[in-house]
Amino acid sequence: MNAEDMTYPPDETALLIIDPYNDFLSEGGKLWPQAKEVAEGVDLIAHMRTVLAAARYQGLQVFIVPHHQTVPSDYLTWDHLSPTQKHIIKAQTFAKGSWGAEWHPDFRPRERELVMNQHWSSSGFANTDLDLMLKQHGIRKVVLIGMKANTCVDTTARFGQELGYHVTLIRDAIGAFKWEEMSATFDINAPQYAHAILTTDEFVGIVQPQPQAAAS
């Protein structure tokens, strides 16, 4: 990793918050029972808050990258449903108009923070406006946090790298349903495509370096 890789200029870096819905991240959410063990194990919510606060403080552009909000008629005429989409039909996760499809209160976008078109499957880029909007805002580097590691985060990050973006994953600000999913993402898959895999403390230390103590 060269020196340029370890910098995140505010005018060319965006924080992508993947699927920050109550169904994923809040007690009472439909998917929280599956996410809880890993989320609490990595202190997910606190780390996501810290990364977001650092990004806002440094003036990084913030993009919300949301999954499609479900209505009962979704997918009924589709030819090729994925296993995840079949589960969504059954559970009606991220149901449009429901509390579960609202943003977790800590990750509601502020004025001038952008919410992308909803993705139907795992990639935040496929069939959305994310690539266009990143380019229109001069973004070259993307930093990813949110849910979940081995699906929407991994797929969005891979797609971003294929499109030419510098990709950083914050491993303790990303959750999953199983520890094996975390390992598959951060120990096996991401080292093959990500330009940086950092902890929250490492990322904050780069974007908000502490002043050096004066020599005695």
Domain ranges of the chain: 4-176+185-207
pLDDT at 214 over 70: no
The CATH number of domain 4-176+185-207 is 3.40.50.280: no
Average pLDDT over residues 180-197: 97
What is the distance between the terminal CA atoms of the chain, rounded to a whole angstrom? 33
Query: Higher confidence at residue 26 or residue 3?
Result: 26
Band (216; pLDDT cuts 50, 70, 90)? very low
Q: CA-CA distance, 186 to 80, in Å (whole number)?
A: 29
Query: What pLDDT does residue 170 have?
Result: 98
pLDDT at 210 over 80: no
Say what percent of the chain tops pLDDT 90.
Answer: 84
Residues 6+ apart with CB under 8 A from 120: 68, 85, 126, 127
Average pLDDT over residues 78-85: 90
Query: Higher confidence at residue 12 or residue 213?
Result: 12
> Within 13 Å, how many C-alpha atoms sit on residue 21's CB side?
27
Provide the whole-model pTM: 0.93
How does pLDDT run across 146-170, given as a tens digit for each residue? 999 999 999 999 999 999 999 999 9
Query: What pLDDT does residue 88 have?
Result: 86
Query: What pLDDT does residue 1 have?
Result: 54
Average pLDDT over residues 112-129: 96
Burial (CB < 10 A; 0-12, 13-18, 19+), residue 77, is exposed
Which residues, listed in sequence order, are joined to residue 189 by a DSSP beta bridge?
none
Q: CA-CA distance, 75 to 163, in Å (whole number)?
A: 28
Residue type, 69: Q
Average pLDDT over residues 100-125: 97
Average pLDDT over residues 18-28: 98
Average pLDDT over residues 122-150: 98
Cis peptide before 148 (omega within 30 of 0): yes
How does pLDDT run across 42-74, given as a tens digit for each residue? 999 999 999 999 999 999 999 999 999 999 888
Average pLDDT over residues 4-19: 92
Query: Higher confidence at residue 121 or residue 215?
Result: 121
Burial (CB < 10 A; 0-12, 13-18, 19+), residue 107, is buried
Among 87, 78, 104, CA closest to 18: 104
